[in-house]
Amino acid sequence: MRRVIILGSTGSIGVQALDVIRRNPQRFDVVGLAAGRNRDLAHAQADEFGVADVVFGADDAERLVRSIDADVVLNGITGSVGLGPTLAVLDSPATLALANKESLIVGGELVTSKVRPGQLVPVDSEHSAIAQALRSGEKHEVARLILTASGGPFRGRTRESLGAVTPAEALAHPTWDMGLVVTTNSSTLVNKGLEVIEAHLLFDVPYDDIEVTVHPQSIVHSMVEFTDGSTIAQASPPDMRLPIALGLDWPHRVAGVGAPIDWTVASEWTFGPLDTEAFPAVELAKRVGRAGATWPAVFNAANEQAVLAFHDGRIGYLDIVDIVTDVVDEHEAFAVTLEGVLEAETWARSAADELIARRSG
């Protein structure tokens, strides 16, 4: 029986994690929950799973992690506010099942320097797929990581045609429902850029050896190419419960957690190159990742501000990545400490707000 704390229990990841646990009561025991603003749902979850400790907000989530013994903590908090809880888990004996990619990206070496071997298990479907595929070979045999991208709702569109995109259109993702910021990031490919940085930090593979391919069907979740020419892919119908379940009990599999591919039905899987002119966010993310230090934190924070401004009607769709680029270009590194990262984020949000005001004015 694995004792589990879920951070972000009322969000998409948290709700699906509790569904996995609900179906496997003999395997998992929920001992703590942290949520955002949806207090009614959080209290209902606590009642259902017999949880005495339920808290609200990232600061209380960090205190919860430090005060309760757990075997695994699932960090499903959205945004860089998840960094404090991530660091708290890494200070404990617990395994960190990480769905909060922002905390790894903005924390960088603050996070990676704390991780014990096997302590951090990725929950993003792409990185879970890579972790599974990597078990097919040795570290020195890895040639490339290939992250798949659905291409979002605007796949095949030119940059010029994206100028009039509305917030509603940006949220109409063809495969996943991930909330306002992440769904918008998937449409701009910022999310894929963040995942490239995450892949580098998780698996210690150079940026030159991390590629993105567009795979609209979202069946192959990512691949690893080995030096002998073999490419190992992880394939399954899109369902986050599979990588969540692996995160909760890595490397063991939870039977029946997801439906397998139906091989009696004809289907086509297609792969194509990323249009970096229409979607420059991935190349920008690689530049930011190579720069390291506090540049990834600035990239993420500026993007969050720009996405919110877009949904408030203050800027256009193409302004999102343009503003992020301008903020990144202006940045000068802060100290790589928790305080330095937070200071860099504050600076980036302010710089982004100034650019947003100019464009909306």
Per-residue pLDDT band at 172 (split at 50, 70, 90): confident
Spatial distance between the Cα atoms of 326 and 67, rounded to a whole number of angstroms:
42
86 contacts 96 by C-beta, under 8 angstroms:
yes
The pLDDT > 90 percentage for the chain reads: 90
pTM for the whole thing?
0.93
Are the C-beta atoms of residues 133 and 233 closer than 8 Å to each other? yes
DSSP 252-271: S--TTSSPPP-TTS------
**Domain range 2-123+240-249, its CATH number among 3.30.420.40, 3.40.50.1100, 1.10.20.140, 3.40.50.720:** 3.40.50.720
In this chain, the answer to whether the domains covering 2-123+240-249 and 293-361 adopt an identical fold is: no
- pLDDT of the residue at 78: 86
* Predicted confidence (pLDDT) per residue in 63-97, tens digit: 999 999 999 999 999 888 899 999 999 999 999 99
The predicted model gives 156-169 an average pLDDT of: 93
pLDDT band at residue 175 under the 50/70/90 scheme: low
Half-sphere exposure of 248 (CA within 13 A, CB side): 32
- In this structure, which topology does domain 293-361 adopt according to CATH? Rna Polymerase Sigma Factor; Chain: A (1.10.1740)
Report how far apart, in Å, the C-alpha atoms of 279 and of each of 149, 155, 166, 216, 325 are. Answer: 12, 9, 17, 15, 12
Structure confidence at residue 179 (pLDDT): 74
pLDDT given for residue 107 in this prediction:
93
Domain residue limits, the chain = 2-123+240-249, 128-238+273-290, 293-361
